[in-house]
Amino acid sequence: MTVREDKAAEEGESAWAGEIAPGRAMLRGAAAVPSTPAVVLFCTFIGFGALAHETGFTLGQALFTTATIFALPGQVVLADQLARGAAISTAAFAVMLTAVRLMPMTVALMPEMRGTRARRALEFVACHFIAVTSWIEARRRLPFVPRDLRLPYYIGFGSALCTATLVGTVTGFALAREVPVVIAAALLFLTPVYFILSLVATMQTREDQLAVLLGSALGPLLFLFMPGFDLLATGLIGGTMAYAVGRMARGEGAGGRMPWRRR
Amino acid sequence: MATALMLAAGAALSAGAQSGQGAGRAAAELFGSGWTAYGLILLAGFAVTEPWRWAGVIFSKNLSLDSEILIWVRAVSTALVAGLVTRMVIFAPGALEGVPLWLRVLAFAAGIAAYYLGRRILAVGIGGGVLVLIAGQLWL
């Protein structure tokens, strides 16, 4: 994000004076959704809607997938695996591997949302909205929200963002049928470009870098040798190799972290 | 920038092994429009995704983010998604399959280059890649 937008976020959230009801905090969270990351996310869900259409989902199934999973990598893996005729167990395992990352993200975010009172039930509601974009945005915005209002604020923000992705899904599904083939191809192209950019944007360690490189190279190759099991194998082989090399580098005192990385 | 070049090279290397396989239409048969389809999505989607969020809420009081197992998990899921990305470019689904392979790879590399050249703004990278793909198709 640009510096200017950061300032805008700060000024926008700084007006929290006086008593504010949780309901108002929720509305403010929802009102915070229109932003560059949300527009990008909306466009990528147009891509998912188009992909779901191309892989034989009905509109209802595509919407159900977006609403229940709300994590684009898992959704795309699910659509892809089912379209290619993988066994349900293989598809489920591949989706699970993409979803494991949600746990450390939730672990990192939840303490920031805890107020003075324990509200476990609300925390389990809020955590459904944790996915890459909402997580990045929450880390940026929550510090400006009073502690006790963060949970309702995030629930408002998350449900509005989820609504935007549902609208995106419908839009993409409808467009895939109507638009010229040049545009339909571009819609399907949104997903891989968005994914690779969010991967390189969040690369922090040598493990991350190696995992991106090895995964990119192994994905298409393993698809030729073991279709159906290729994504799992790519993740397990590429990820483990990246982890092993990164660990060796850390062991040698190289630090593993990349000090020249900004942020 | 070096990473962008390496990525492009990796995609080009894997592109050497292209075959004519496209996205199947098995989902239509597998799914149908009945309630079983929704059950399958719940089973292979929701049931393997949401528990990780719940676990995050439960463990958020006492789990170190630097633990070795989490570093490994992060590497595995990163490699899996990266593999899915290059495979979607090379063995493209649906309408994208009609675009020549070289143009898909070029547009993909252009998106990464635009991201790095455009001060690492996500919208610039995505816009650049999509523009090259559309312009290339119109020019052909």
Q: Which token pair is B27?
A: 């989902």
Return the pLDDT at A155: 95
Are A104 and B65 in contact by the 8 Å Cβ rule? The answer is yes
Flag whether pLDDT at B16 surpasses 50.
Answer: no
Of B47, B91, B123, the CB nearest to A220: B91
Closest Cα in chain B to A223: B87
Q: Is A60 exposed, middle or buried (0-12, 13-18, 19+ CB in 10 A)?
A: exposed
Chain A segment 217-246 residues within 8 A of B by beta carbon are 217-224, 227, 230-232, 234-240, 242-243, 246
Residues in chain B closer than 8 A to A197 (CB atoms): 111-112, 115, 122, 125-126
Residues A28 and A98 in one domain: yes
Chain B contact for A158, CB < 8 A?
Answer: no
Rounded to whole angstroms, the Cα distance separating B114 from B106 reads 12
Q: Is the ipTM of this complex over 0.90?
A: no
Residues A14 and A43 in one domain: yes
User: B26 to chain A, minimum CA–CA distance in Å?
Assistant: 5
DSSP structure string for chain A: --HHHHHHHHHHHH---S---HHHHHHHHHHT--SHHHHHHHHHHHHHHHHHHHTT--HHHHHHHHHHH--HHHHHHHHHHHHTT--HHHHHHHHHHHHTTHHHHHHHHHHHH--SS--HHHHHHHGGG-SHHHHHHHHHHGGGS-GGGHHHHHHHHHHHHHHHHHHHHHHHHHHHHHS-HHHHHHHHHHHHHHHHHHHHHT--BHHHHHHHHHHHHHHHHHHHHSTTTHHHHIIIIIHHHHHHHHHHHHHTTS-SB-TTS--
**Which residue blocks in B42-67 are alpha helix, DSSP H?**
47-59
User: Cβ of B122 and A95 within 8 Å?
Assistant: no
User: B102 to chain A, minimum CA–CA distance in Å?
Assistant: 14
Domain that holds residue B56: 24-63
User: Cβ of B81 and A39 within 8 Å?
Assistant: no
Residues A152 and A258 in one domain: no
Chain B contact for A181, CB < 8 A?
Answer: yes
B8 falls within a domain = no
Residues A209 and A195 in one domain: no
The domain total for chain B is 2
What residue type is B67 in one-letter code? Answer: S
Identify the bridge partners of residue A205 per DSSP, sorted by sequence position.
Answer: A257
Residues in chain B closer than 8 A to A58 (CB atoms): 31, 33, 37
Residues B85 and B111 in one domain: yes
Return the pLDDT at B66: 63
Tokens 């159906």 sit at which residue? A228
Q: Which of A202, A230, A251 is the last residue of a domain?
A: A202
Residues B97 and B124 in one domain: yes
Tokens 């990473």 sit at which residue? B3
Residues A48 and A78 in one domain: yes
The domain total for chain A is 2
One pLDDT digit (tens) per residue for chain A, 263 residues? 444 455 445 555 556 777 778 888 898 989 888 877 788 889 889 989 999 998 889 999 999 999 999 998 899 999 988 888 888 899 999 999 888 878 878 887 888 888 777 788 999 999 999 987 888 788 778 888 888 899 999 999 999 999 999 999 999 999 988 888 898 899 889 889 988 998 888 788 888 899 999 999 999 999 998 877 888 899 999 999 999 999 988 875 444 444 434 33
Domain that holds residue A189: 3-202
Return the pLDDT at B68: 81
Closest Cα in chain A to B67: A104
Residues B95 and B41 in one domain: no
Residues in chain A closer than 8 A to B13 (CB atoms): 217
